[in-house]
Amino acid sequence: MVSAPLPDPVPAEEYEQCPVTDVLRRVGDKWTVLVVVLLGRRPYRFNELHRAIATISQRMLTRTLRGLETDGLVHREVFPTNPPSVEYRLTPLGESLLVPLSALADWVMEHRTDIAAARSAHAAERGDDVTAP
Amino acid sequence: MVSAPLPDPVPAEEYEQCPVTDVLRRVGDKWTVLVVVLLGRRPYRFNELHRAIATISQRMLTRTLRGLETDGLVHREVFPTNPPSVEYRLTPLGESLLVPLSALADWVMEHRTDIAAARSAHAAERGDDVTAP
DNA sequence: CGGTATCCAGAGAGATACTG
DNA sequence: CAGTATCTCTCTGGATACCG
């Protein structure tokens, strides 16, 4: 069932601020989904996440977490220990997002060979040599 | 059901070329989903799509369609009429993508007020004046 | 430990002009 | 009609250094 009955000449402003577009752009960024999936298993502290995601920069981890926090998908809790520790975990809203996200991931895993095949075919058709250096 | 049992220290290269990440970035771009949804209703010709999406540039429409074609989600067919016309339509693979995409869209529509509320709350907490110029 | 602040490179995206 | 070619600008993402 598709939710939006979408007018045909899609209005400019309406699309720009469409909440669906908005969320898609968020999950389409480089790290958000990975962070959500990790936090879906258990809470993490900041540097714990940093270690778990080998190649993320501190800056991008912070930005990603802030974005998720702003949207109410992740909860940030500071414990006044020494040294201080900050725990991140999914909110119920964040957990509920895992459901459609998993569905999409499953679709990809189910069809990834089709996509790979299409890419090869397209490259071959254009005369590209896929095996070239 | 989640498809990927995901190792904890997420390996650098593995993540970079993960097919799921790959597809998420595609649907996270500005126009892809809109084009897929429109083509989900019926085939379109190039300029017909251009008119249907008020604010897209010719260049971005071309690029978006090429990307979808490369991945085997859209079929491009040229009719040697005069003037020439080119029709775009979803492949079966493209149509199957509409299912998980709709699920995600439905999630967003269901929870958009929660997200909006979280954003307001977060802005207020930070002392931002949402009504400011 | 858990961040900010700054600076910088590259991809994404748009405007415009031209073409088979 | 259905594009391609340029040029430009913004925005994302990364490296580095510093702070409570």
For residue range B1-42, what is the model confidence (pLDDT) as tens digits? 555 667 888 888 888 888 999 899 999 999 999 999 999 999
User: Taking CB atoms and an 8 Å limit, are B106 and A117 in contact across chains?
Assistant: no
pLDDT digit string (tens) for B48-94? 999 999 889 999 999 999 999 999 999 999 998 888 899 999 999 99
Which CATH fold topology does B12-126 show? Arc Repressor Mutant, subunit A (1.10.10)
- For the question of whether the overall pTM of this predicted structure is more than 0.85, the answer is yes
Ranking A25-39, A43-57, B3-17, B109-123 by mean pLDDT, the lowest is B3-17
Q: Give burial (CB, 10 Å; 0-12/13-18/19+) of A29.
A: middle
pLDDT band at residue A14 under the 50/70/90 scheme: confident
Contact of A19 with chain B, judged by CB distance below 8 Å, is answered with: yes
* B85 Cβ contacts chain D strand, under 7 Å: yes
B89: phi then psi, degrees, rounded to nearest 5: -150, 160
Residues 6+ apart with CB under 8 A from B33: A20, A21, A24, B27, B101
What pLDDT, on a 0 to 100 scale, did the predictor assign at position B5? 67
Read off the tokens for A46. 């900041």
What pLDDT, on a 0 to 100 scale, did the predictor assign at position B132? 41
Ranking A18-22, A87-91, B2-6 by mean pLDDT, the lowest is B2-6
Domain locations along chain B? 12-126
pLDDT band at residue A94 under the 50/70/90 scheme: very high
Residue A100's nearest CA partner among B70, B21, B99 is B99
Residue B105's nearest CA partner among A50, A21, A16, A31 is A21
The nearest alpha carbon in chain B to A111 belongs to B93
